[in-house]
Chains A and B, each alone.
Chain A
Amino acid sequence: MNRKIVTLMVVVALLVTSGRFALAQSQVGTLEITGVPTDVAAGRYDREAGVFSADVREIGGALITVKLEDVEITGKTMEWRTDDNYLLFTVDARLTQDDFELTADQVEYFGEDKNLKAEGRVVVTTEDATVYADHLDYDEETDEALFTGNVRVVFSDGVLEGERFLMLLEKSELQFFGSFQGEFTDEENGEQ
């Protein structure tokens, strides 16, 4: 089979997997702060502003975790604006769901806009591939994930690199913007 087609199929699989970004709007969501000594205040809630914030950077072993259905987001600092359902995780921010994992310096979820943004050292890992980028912008409505800045898609048999990479998840379509270059290993011949 043409290597390009195989590669694209793998990437499509990656895209379908990354459709799991969608934060479902039902059930009970939980927020947990663990590993905090009883005499230390790690969380604050401003009722008037509707803002909850937590910071456990200085507390060894402490972690903030948000769980919604089977999506889990962790980090060392967080801010949650309850009025517009905005969630911000920074420092060791990590979003996981089954075999899917997103890590970044910062992960933001805009509940009203149904949009997820990740910034700084973005790494998306699935069973099939790993995508590195500076930014990720995922729109739940359109089911599109846009990776920008030093994008690098690593498969078991190759690498694709570029500046802008759009995944149209619903259409199972990939769009590469600007120059993109790939490098693959021929499994049969061991060639590149």
Chain B
Amino acid sequence: MRSKAKIIIIALVVLAIAVYLIFHFFAEPPPPPVSVPPSVQLLESRLVGRKDGARQWEIWAQSVLQAGESVTLNDMDEIIMFQDDEPYLFIDAQRAVWERKPDILYLHDAVVRDEDETFYLESDLLIWAGSEETLTSPESVFIRWQGLEIDAAEMLLKAQENLLYLKDDVRIRDGSMLWRVESAVYDLDQERMEFFGSLVLEEEVGESE
């Protein structure tokens, strides 16, 4: 009888810990400094990344696996990135891994869009570094934005400065113009591009007279 009661108490404690984690630890960061079991799997959870209290990103996931400082999310709904606490970018990804301490979010097979779909980005791997507010694609990336179509082997977006760094085998199509450059920096606010290294621009000039 006593052992049965013990089992019930242990089960209740485990359940209570799980409920606590779901509704407090993951639901409303910044996470409280509680001791987390080395490996916990949660279902249908919402994760919110914050910096200085302001929301940076929000993820709904069917499956959340916590292992040490690393949180792996699968079967995700749309990820929402925030700027000034407003939805800024929407991301579909196959898998996400959040390294809590350095606040780095890895997004695998990601497609990023803005609200009115004027911005579209595709990459096999995107890395969001919360402390620096940078979005990196260490692998090839394709971007469609305001009439531009951009391919590059690497990309770095500095969200605070609104600067887009494109590296290696960069191709930028702007209407009839196709830029091929080694690397480029695009000031998204000013709509100015700076091209580094050698450059080739091809342009369809027009109809024959």
Contacts and interface: CB of A to CB of B under 8 A. Distances in A.
Interface of A: 24-48, 52, 54, 68, 82
B202 A40 contact: no
B191 A48 contact: yes
Given A33-B199, A47-B192, 4 more contacts: A28-B203, A32-B201, A38-B183, A43-B199
A36 B198 contact: yes
B191 A40 contact: no
A67 to B, nearest CB: 10
Nearest 10 interchain pairs by C-beta: A26-B208, A38-B197, A31-B201, A43-B195, A47-B191, A33-B199, A45-B193, A48-B191, A41-B194, A29-B205
B200 interface: yes
A31 B203 contact: yes
B191 A46 contact: yes
Contacts of A32: 198-201
Interface string B172-209: 00100101011101000011111111111111111111
B205 to A, nearest CB: 5
B205 A68 contact: yes
Contacts, number: 84
A43 B179 CA distance: 11
A27 B182 CA distance: 25
Contacts of B191: 46-48
A48 B174 CA distance: 12
B204 A47 contact: no
7 contacts: A26-B206, A31-B200, A42-B197, A45-B192, A46-B191, A47-B193, A48-B191
Nearest to A62: B198
Interface residues of B, number: 27
A45 B170 CA distance: 15
A46 B201 contact: no
A32 B200 CA distance: 4
A68 B179 CA distance: 16
Contacts of B196: 36, 38-42
Interface string B105-127: 00000000000000000000000
A30 B197 CA distance: 17
A41 B195 CA distance: 5
Contacts of B185: 41
Given A25-B205, A25-B207, A44 B199 contact: no
Nearest to A64: B199
A143 to B, nearest CB: 13
A29 B205 CA distance: 6
A44 B193 contact: yes
B207 to A, nearest CB: 7
A35 B201 contact: no
B163 to A, nearest CB: 13
Nearest to B193: A45
A30 B192 CA distance: 20
A29 B190 CA distance: 27
A30 B200 contact: yes
A32 B202 CA distance: 9
A39 B183 CA distance: 9
A139 to B, nearest CB: 15
Interface in B133-168: none
B202 to A, nearest CB: 5
A43 B208 CA distance: 29
Contact of A35 (B198, B203, B204): B198
Contact of A29 (B199, B202, B207): B202
